[in-house]
Structure 1
Amino acid sequence: MRRFFYAINSDNYDHKSEQFCRPRLGSLPIGNDVELPDSIVHHWCRVLRANIGDQGILFDGFGGEYQVQLQTISKKHATVTLLAHISDDRSAPIISKIGLVMSRGDRMDYAIQKATELGVTAIQLLSSHHGEVSLKPSQVDKKLHHWQQIAIAACEQCGLNRPPLILTPQPITQWLNTDTASLTVDDAVSPTMVALSQDPYYQVLNHQADIRLQMSVPATGQPLMPEALLVVLKQDVPYIELLIGPEGGLSNDESAQAKHSGFAPWQIGARVLRTETAPLVALATLHALSR
């Protein structure tokens, strides 16, 4: 059954009443009709050639999802009837934010897509001294939207109903600077995600993590895993931050700053992982250790 993300975004904001005009799916009773946004009409009704009576799933990111049936289809509009609410929350039992130095092209798309499938909560985009990508101000909005859509599409495919937040790029030195107030998640997301970022589930990201880990290359005499990690993973819903550098690694100054900011080195095995592989290995390992 096709799944679609029903975004509550800034395009639906009524500045006079300071409320979002498009209702949250979770606030609507079974049997109500809902008008679909253009993006879903285009994909479901035009590209996939859906017909009246076809069923699908809508989720808005606030938890759970709805089974729906296409009720009307016109040239530019379509409506669905809410048939049933499915309360399953398939989010990972760990709140995780990855500070990920941006890489080029498909490698970055791959890292975001697979990290989403493995349940990451947010990805903070970073630039660094040895990084391959440094976006111009005119490129930021377009790339942020692109990467957020990669994450949403991965959610639609894999069954997650809370998409991760992709956070606007920052220099790694700024993100690590504990003396500088960081942007809140509300300020750092694309317009599509502003309303969703205000949900309590995501507001946890504004608080201090229970542990901060830097994916590290193998080093003699360095412990494989911080002892505190296993303790943190015993908490009900631990919040873990991960820092993943570029292919060339962090500079000496960046590594020193990460250590000063509380990032403990964590090396998984004796191999050096690519920057798009490291998030997947780290997330999969965390979930395995938390069981």
Structure 2
Amino acid sequence: MQRHRIYTSQPLQPGNRIMLEEGPTRHLVQVLRLKTGAEIILFNGDGHDYSAHLGETSRRSSYAEVQQRLEPAEAPACLQIHLAIGISKGERMDFAIQKAVELGVAEITPLITERCQVRLPSERQAKRLQHWRQVIIAACEQSGRRRIPSLNPVQELHSWLGVANTADGLLLDHRADRALHELPPPGEAVTLLVGPEGGLSATERTQATTNGFSGLRLGPRVLRTETAPLAAIAAIQTQWGDFR
């Protein structure tokens, strides 16, 4: 029987009885229609899954009885992938973030670039970041990840380039001269920079390479903004990461 995985921000210890947050409660009780005693899996980002039973439930609240911590813990990735991506429209950005998490990225930074078609005033950024965090959590619930990738604040590209660790930075650019197999292997981490719809401007590409990024070409085709990072992440995982 399938046991549904649910994220909670609370500490988890065998024997504890916790009240689940409103979102998980609504999903378990109103969407999945689980009853008292149903077996579920909880995780909070500490690297472990925890078996649990659903306790008392109502439409607005539910309790879980934590049974045991399941082994083994999620092992750290052999390559930490940081996706820095220009903000694209609505579902495209959601899709790119969701699938990047499923493919194993460890960190995500949303960037404002010259060609971004989405403008986020400061008062809207917190709401959008909360939405993207929920996309990340849902992707972890589905894919079995037990550690939550980091989501950084929205930043201007030129400001981010001034402080980013670009020792092993890759700029995804169909005009680049080198393919992945022609690049030297990174150390323990790699940063992948991807533009929004329309890509990065010539000035931004120059800024990126000046700050240490190496151009990366993925074949002869021009990929959409939601396709490009996923193809690159899968290729990186195959070449140097945990797809090997």
Q: One fold, TM greater than 0.5?
A: yes
Residue 125 of structure 2 corresponds to 140
Residue 37 of structure 2 corresponds to 53
Q: Equivalents in 2 of 1:272, 1:105: separation in Å?
A: 21
Q: Equivalents in 1 of 2:203, 2:23: separation in Å?
A: 44
Q: Equivalents in 1 of 2:227, 2:208: separation in Å?
A: 21
1:122 CA drift (Å): 1.4
Residue 82 of structure 2 corresponds to 97
Residue 19 of structure 2 corresponds to 35
1:130 CA drift (Å): 1.4
Q: Equivalents in 2 of 1:94, 1:73: separation in Å?
A: 41
Residue 154 of structure 1 corresponds to 139
Residue 6 of structure 1 corresponds to 8
Structure 1 pair 229–32 and aligned structure 2 pair: CA distance change class (3 A): same
1:167 to 144, 152, 156: 152
Structure 1 pair 120–258 and aligned structure 2 pair: CA distance change class (3 A): same
Check whether the contact 1:128–1:250 (CA below 8 A) recurs between aligned residues.
yes
DSSP-derived class of the 2:184 partner: helix
Q: Structure 1: 5+ residue runs without aligned partners? A: 8-21, 183-207
Percent identity, aligned pairs only, is: 36
Q: Equivalents in 2 of 1:75, 1:146: separation in Å?
A: 23
How many residue pairs get aligned? The number is 238
CA RMSD of aligned residues (A): 1.9
Structure 1 pair 137–83 and aligned structure 2 pair: CA distance change class (3 A): same
Q: Equivalents in 2 of 1:254, 1:94: separation in Å?
A: 26
Residue type of the partner of 1:244? V
Q: Structure 2: 5+ residue runs without aligned partners? A: none
Length-normalised TM-score, structure 2? 0.90
Q: Equivalents in 1 of 2:69, 2:144: separation in Å?
A: 15
1:246 CA drift (Å): 2.0
Q: Equivalents in 2 of 1:91, 1:156: separation in Å?
A: 17
1:74 CA drift (Å): 4.1
Residue 80 of structure 1 corresponds to 64
Check whether the contact 2:140–2:148 (CA below 8 A) recurs between aligned residues.
yes
Length-normalised TM-score, structure 1? 0.76
Residue type of the partner of 2:174? V
1:245 to 185, 195, 199: 195
Residue 258 of structure 1 corresponds to 208
Residues 172-205 of structure 1, C-alpha deviations (whole Å, 9 max, x = no match):
1111124xxx7xxxxxxxxxxxxxxxxxxxxxxx
Q: Equivalents in 1 of 2:90, 2:206: separation in Å?
A: 29
